[in-house]
Amino acid sequence: MMSVLSVIIPIFGLMLFGWALKRLRLLNDCMVDAINSYVYYIGITAITFISLHDTGTSLLLDPAIYVLNLAPMLAVAGVAYAAARLFRLERGMAAVFVVCAFYGNTGYIGFPLNVYVQGKESLNVAAFISTLYTIVAFTLGVYLLRRSSDEPSAGGGLYRLPIIWAALLGILLSWLAIPDIIRLPLGLISDSTSPLALLATGAMAEGTALKADLKSIGALSALKLVLAPSMVALAGLIIGSSGMVYKTSLLEAATPIAVTTSVLAAQFRVHPDFASRAVIISTILFAASLIAILAQL
């Protein structure tokens, strides 16, 4: 019980602290936007570069990491599509529903979660898995949103994402030693990213109206918080995986809906309010689902 609390308290404590700072007006929208920009464009980019640089080719070529992540993602997307049809959601809402179902907060929450549970050595695996999620979200996800939008945005291409360039550079330069004068500041940026990400997540929850679309968001949260990790557990059982790759995949799949989904929805003008409410509610419910996940590790 104490080990579970030692993971939950720091994560939700920082999120609650961010909520309180925004509530007390010690953080305003501009400051939260600045923190988000730092985390997304600088912090996660630095973590991805240094982690994948230090990752051996054995991980990149390990078929288990793809079976444990890509297959469950696509399976959840298929179930979400069927659920959207069952709820008779209109085309735009259905697209957001599907993207939210498979795209988790693998960076903002997944990175600190893995560090608290498994230690910093798990960041290499978490960074690569997070990159896989991002690639799927900005290919399949963007395709679904663009197809359902009357005013498609020019944004959203993979080439615009610093995390993708960081991943490519990290892998391509893995043979080259990084000098301390570069590695040390990158390490400091990496260390600052997780707490700031959790702080920003909590701040964004303040003032959000949560009462609309509760039926759809409840079903969506069940898909993301229950079905997604269950699919990873099933895949792990089938291929007989139980090590760090499996545990990291399970924790990343268990994360709540990604904050980026609301950004994508806003870019394509497809129900961004629904995406924002889904992010907040799934993050709140994540407190309960995380306990169940940690009990399995």
Q: Over the Cα atoms of the chain, what is R_g?
A: 18
Measured CA to CA, the distance from residue 192 to residue 182 in angstroms comes to 16
Measured CA to CA, the distance from residue 46 to residue 61 in angstroms comes to 22
The per-residue pLDDT for 153 is 52
Residue 174 contacts residue 58 (beta carbons within 8 Å): no
Here the CATH number for the domain that contains residue 269 is: 1.20.1530.20
Measured CA to CA, the distance from residue 126 to residue 245 in angstroms comes to 9
The per-residue pLDDT for 46 is 86
* Confidence band of 1 (pLDDT split at 50, 70, 90): very low
Q: Is residue 194 predicted with pLDDT exceeding 90?
A: no
Please indicate whether residue 57 or residue 237 has the higher confidence score (pLDDT): 237
Handedness of CA 52, 57, 59, 62 (dihedral sign): positive
Measured CA to CA, the distance from residue 116 to residue 119 in angstroms comes to 6
Q: Is residue 107 predicted with pLDDT exceeding 90?
A: no
Q: Is residue 162 predicted with pLDDT exceeding 70?
A: yes
Averaged pLDDT score across all residues of the chain: 84
The per-residue pLDDT for 21 is 92
Domain holding 270, by residue range, is 2-20+29-295
* Confidence band of 39 (pLDDT split at 50, 70, 90): confident
The per-residue pLDDT for 154 is 45
Range with the lowest mean pLDDT among 67-71, 130-134, 259-263? 259-263
Through-space distance between the first and last CA atoms of the chain, rounded to whole angstroms: 13
Measured CA to CA, the distance from residue 158 to residue 272 in angstroms comes to 21
The per-residue pLDDT for 3 is 53
The per-residue pLDDT for 255 is 93
Q: Is residue 100 predicted with pLDDT exceeding 60?
A: yes
The per-residue pLDDT for 86 is 92
Token pair recorded at residue 195: 């707490």
Q: Is residue 296 predicted with pLDDT exceeding 80?
A: no
Mean pLDDT of 134-160: 72
Domain count, the chain: 1
The share of the chain scoring above pLDDT 90, in percent, equals 27
Q: pLDDT tens across 21-35, in order?
A: 988 989 888 888 888
Please indicate whether residue 183 or residue 268 has the higher confidence score (pLDDT): 183
